[in-house]
Amino acid sequence: MKIDTLVVHADLFTMAGQGVGFIDDGAVAINGNKIVAVGASNELLKDYAADEVIDATGMMVLPGFVDCHMHTSLAIFRGLAQDTNAWMHKGIGPFVPFINEVSELAGSRMNILEALAAGTTTFCDYSSPILDIAAFFKKIGARARLTTSIKEVPPVKHKLKEHDLYPFDPAIGERTLSENLELVERWHGAEDNRITAMLGPQCPDQLSKELMLKVREIAKAKNLKLHMHVAQGDRETKQMLGRYQKRPIAFLDEIGYLDESLIAVHLTDATEEEARYVAKSGASMVVCSGSIGIIDGVVPPAVPFMEAGGTVGLGTDQAAGNNCNQIINEMKLTSLFNKIKYQDPEKLPAWKALRMATIEGARAVGIGDEVGSLESGKKADLIFIDLKAKTMLPVFKTPMRNHVPNLVYSARGHEICRVMVDGKTLYQDGKYLTVDEAEIIADCQMIANQISGSVSEENFAITTSATFMKEGKL
């Protein structure tokens, strides 16, 4: 059979089945944007004649990573919100008044390049300006599953007293909902379903019960997922107790939010029991270990969620807090944080972390039938890892394979030598094939220089790191 591309001689990790689905000297046959066969190289070489044969000798090939939750536009603030107990207020707070859609898009584009080169092929981006970001995803060729924030709280939160409930402004709710619906209208299913949309009620405390119910109705009618921050922290829990006398999970249960259409992000402040309850409802979880570790010092309950039968994907969240958007980093941190949390080095082994980064992540965001493993009929989203990179050396195949522990615990991203989405190579050997990297980098730095020049000492005075700067420590 005549096809477009045949990848051969790979150390192939398909992620099919219950483990990592290893095939020695493996091959993947690709036609158009789909995988048409996966198997042994000698067999596929007999069965298929390809326009392009990619020799993956000395490479590990696996499905591209699924980043289940990210705010790419916040990357414009990378490195400004760490080591503080209030990253949003004290970290990026002083800078927020000086950004606009142009600077957000500049941060977003740079961040997408970063993540793509580190193996992310599916981006669940929860950002603005989402229509421009969608257009960038169309251009760069990556898979995107997009959301905008639906909320009703005016931007005055930090002026409230601690026990005040947030005010809700229904006009903001209507506007943000219609923005999300415009995203759905214009992009859901675009590029042969490479770009899709979800609805994004921000979190239980930032929009009214009425609006939450309305969003849920729309989601059911249009068969859309709800991508929502849930049990983010004590601030949210206090708001929910104050307004409804219920903790976030109990409230969501009451209003019918806990089912398979919900993607519950974070669960930072959820108890293990609450996590298990959400898991059993059919909702999925996204754990952003790096982000929540750095901004809250907390390890969210992903392990009990999985043990209760729930599906958990990984998210990098936002670079302003987390600093980086690289799924290898999230695999390692998720595994290590949980070993420490339970003081058990056997907790969350490398192969489980890799499943969370691929097939489980794809399932968590509702596209497990399309991506997350290399199987016939799925989309051809593949990444290639150079096994001559020193961080992957030496390679053992028998009696034990060390590819997966080395990928999860040793690799740092630069080992990825080719990234393919929908059968097209987007990145290879350090070069981006569909966009102009130098222009994107220069643009991002120029915008940062403009913001830098605008932020006054007065705005800056509230940050924790300002003290460090004055003391010569930063």
The answer to whether residue 401 forms part of the interface with a copy of itself (CB under 8 A) is: yes
- Nearest CB to a copy of itself, comparing residues 96 and 131: 96
| Smallest distance, a copy of itself to C-beta of residue 71, A | 15
The answer to whether residue 299 forms part of the interface with a copy of itself (CB under 8 A) is: yes
Q: What share of the chain is helix, strand, coil (3-state, %, to 5)?
A: 45, 20, 35
Site for a copy of itself in 5-34 (CB under 8 A): 17-22
| Smallest distance, a copy of itself to C-beta of residue 307, A | 17
Among 158, 220, 222, 414, binds a copy of itself (CB under 8 A): 414
Among 25, 82, 190, 271, binds a copy of itself (CB under 8 A): 82
* DSSP structure string for 416-427: EEEEEETTEEEE
- Nearest CB to a copy of itself, comparing residues 309 and 345: 345
The answer to whether residue 466 forms part of the interface with a copy of itself (CB under 8 A) is: yes
Stretch that binds a copy of itself, among 4-12, 190-198, 262-270, 328-336 (CB under 8 A): 328-336
The answer to whether residue 388 forms part of the interface with a copy of itself (CB under 8 A) is: yes
End-to-end CA distance of the chain: 61
| Smallest distance, a copy of itself to C-beta of residue 317, A | 13
The answer to whether residue 316 forms part of the interface with a copy of itself (CB under 8 A) is: no
Residue 111's φ and ψ, nearest 5 degrees, are: -65, -35
Structure-token pair, residue 303: 């392990």
**Hey, what amino acid is at 93?**
G
Site for a copy of itself in 347-386 (CB under 8 A): 347, 349-351
What DSSP element (H or E) covers 307? helix 302-307
Cα–Cα distance for residue pair 469/474, rounded to 1 Å: 5
The answer to whether residue 396 forms part of the interface with a copy of itself (CB under 8 A) is: yes
Contact 152, 210 (CB under 8 A): no
The answer to whether residue 223 forms part of the interface with a copy of itself (CB under 8 A) is: no
Stretch that binds a copy of itself, among 132-140, 254-262, 377-385, 451-459 (CB under 8 A): 451-459
Residue 316's φ and ψ, nearest 5 degrees, are: -95, -15
Q: Nearest to residue 61, comparing CAs of 21, 17, 1, 114?
A: 21
Among 37, 50, 286, 444, binds a copy of itself (CB under 8 A): 444
The answer to whether residue 133 forms part of the interface with a copy of itself (CB under 8 A) is: no
Site for a copy of itself in 153-182 (CB under 8 A): none
- Nearest CB to a copy of itself, comparing residues 176 and 326: 326
Q: How many residues bind a copy of itself (CB under 8 A)?
A: 98
- Nearest CB to a copy of itself, comparing residues 176 and 325: 325
- Nearest CB to a copy of itself, comparing residues 7 and 447: 447
Total Cβ atoms within 10 A of residue 347: 16
Site for a copy of itself in 240-279 (CB under 8 A): none
The answer to whether residue 404 forms part of the interface with a copy of itself (CB under 8 A) is: yes
Among 4, 104, 114, 317, binds a copy of itself (CB under 8 A): 114
Structure-token pair, residue 216: 């849920």
Cα–Cα distance for residue pair 133/123, rounded to 1 Å: 11
Torsion angle (degrees, nearest 10) of CA 428, 431, 433, 436: 160
Q: Nearest to residue 288, comparing CAs of 257, 325, 260?
A: 325
Residue 462's φ and ψ, nearest 5 degrees, are: -80, -10
The answer to whether residue 70 forms part of the interface with a copy of itself (CB under 8 A) is: no
HEC states along 144-165? EEEECCECCCCCCHHHCCCCCC
Query: Peptide bond before 94: cis, by omega within 30 degrees of 0?
Result: no
